[in-house]
Amino acid sequence: MVEEEVMGRMRIPRSDEIVGTVEAMVGGSRMVVSCSDGKERTCRIPGKIRRRIWVKEGDTVIVKPWCIEGDKKGDIMWRYTKLQAGWLRRKGHIK
């Protein structure tokens, strides 16, 4: 039953998205994210989802790099709960 609740709203990263972990809060809805491709990006939460998700340090998130300065900046598109992040690790989607 718990796994069904976890999978209810599960989102797998698309081809242009990267999984990362929030390292630090910078302020102004911006944070430093350590991404799975080995790069650190300064990411923001876009306005359309800013009020729907609450992100804190240590959370696993989906990052969409910007077209310009994609190695340094990006947008946070989704936040996983602790249960969802554990499920993704067990299934091999994230390391």
What domains lie within the chain, and their CATH numbers? 2-91 (2.40.50.140)
How confident is residue 49, by pLDDT bands cut at 50, 70 and 90? confident
Determine the average pLDDT of the residues in 85-90: 89
Beta bridge pairs of residue 43:
31, 74
Q: Which amino acid is at 71?
A: D
Taking residues 12-39, what's their average pLDDT? Answer: 92
Least confident piece of the model among 3-17, 48-62, 77-91? 3-17
Position 17 confidence tier, pLDDT thresholds 50, 70, 90: very high
What's the mean pLDDT when you consider all of the chain?
A: 87
